[in-house]
Chains A and B, each alone.
Chain A
């Protein structure tokens, strides 16, 4: 029964998504709102030996539309706190033994200045595709250590078309983008420590 309900829901999700692709959609139910509390679960902090101290400084929201993140079968996905959501994902860096997040730039070896460029989810036939794009500018003291663009994505079958399923895909896209920063963080830390 559960499977049958899921399949029916999936069919419904697809039908509504398809209808929405050519025009306006019917009156929306309560949207899925993305905030700092929507982010991935806080990481377990491992034992660390001389980790590189990192501070996440500015988080500028440069998206052209800061309030809408897409449409799924249940309705709109909004973002009343997109930067807070990205910051919650970046806290995942603390789960890596090589890094330790610190609360001020004075205590940090590397400072990350983050620009949020894109964050959205779209329904493509029976699939949902979540995307998060941000740029990070790295500084070590007064010194610029370069910048890079990170794009996290998660495509998955839109089984039941629920809010939790959508949020799960968005968080996985965020985690992928955050994980992409690690290689550059290692280089930035080495540059600071190596002089």
Chain B
């Protein structure tokens, strides 16, 4: 059993969280479409998975489910008012505008368009790439959430640049390339993750008090935090994608 596990892990090359863009790949980009992929519809409170320590089997499943249900219910109930305060806020649109502004400054990407999808299935994402009129598609997968006590808002952006032209496809990472799924992470010629965290000067551990601060004045603090988070992750992406990968060292 151990041997089987060892041999399996030896065959699978993990996909790095950061794949810098090589200068050769950069020069092979004919044009780029940026696609934002955001599966959530509203902000949420991060709820860690429950762990019914010491309870195994069927009882453990029920106990865990019960704790999970209670935690999620409490989080969803408390975040309602904040959601209502920013019901007209369009994070997806804000991020699209920020990405367009930041990435249009990166000349070699030759950004032609920015579009959006909420289809996060590989089949749907693959269609966005193969159906694009551009030779490269930058998938920008975003998430925004409160931490458990709602003292912080975190905006996360996962960027993956996929080839949609033969000249750029030649630069796919050989070790992790996946022939059957176009948007498999291992096919990205560039990838990295960016986060931005903003907080309120609230009472640590007091979720309700913190949420009241975020929701005050029609959600002004939360709108500002999301605006800032979106702009910052877009700026970080634009800066990072221009940092060229070090040239490969020739084997001796």
Contacts and interface: CB of A to CB of B under 8 A. Distances in A.
Contact of B76 (A24, A129, A159): A129
Given A64-B93, A126-B50, A126-B68, A28 B80 contact: no
Contacts of A25: 120-122
Interface stretch (B20-28, B35-43, B97-105, B168-176): B35-43
A155 B69 CA distance: 7
Interface in B38-66: 39-42, 44, 47-50, 58, 61, 64-66
Nearest to B185: A23
Given A23-B185, A153-B80, A155-B76, A71 B141 contact: no
Given A11-B61, A125-B49, A125-B50, A157 B121 contact: no
A24 B47 contact: no
A65 interface: yes
Contacts of A64: 90, 92-93
Interface stretch (A100-108, A115-123, A137-145): A115-123
B40 A27 contact: no
Contacts of B92: 64-65
Contacts of B90: 64
A123 to B, nearest CB: 10
A120 B64 contact: no
B44 A157 contact: no
B119 A68 contact: yes
Contact of A71 (B47, B83, B120): B120
Contacts of A65: 41, 92, 116, 118
B122 A124 contact: no
A150 to B, nearest CB: 10
Nearest to A127: B72
Contacts of A84: none
Contacts, number: 108
A26 interface: yes
Interface string A153-175: 10111010000000000000000
A128 to B, nearest CB: 9
B34 interface: no
A3 B75 CA distance: 29
Contact of B65 (A3, A76, A117, A126): A126
B89 to A, nearest CB: 10
A10 B122 contact: no
Contact of B40 (A23, A122, A127): A122
Given A20-B120, A155-B72, 10 more contacts: A3-B58, A26-B122, A27-B123, A28-B123, A70-B41, A120-B41, A126-B65, A129-B72, A133-B83, A151-B80
23 contacts: A3-B58, A7-B61, A25-B121, A25-B122, A26-B121, A27-B122, A28-B123, A64-B92, A65-B41, A65-B116, A71-B120, A75-B121, A124-B44, A126-B49, A126-B50, A126-B69, A127-B65, A127-B72, A127-B73, A129-B76, A131-B42, A149-B87, A153-B80
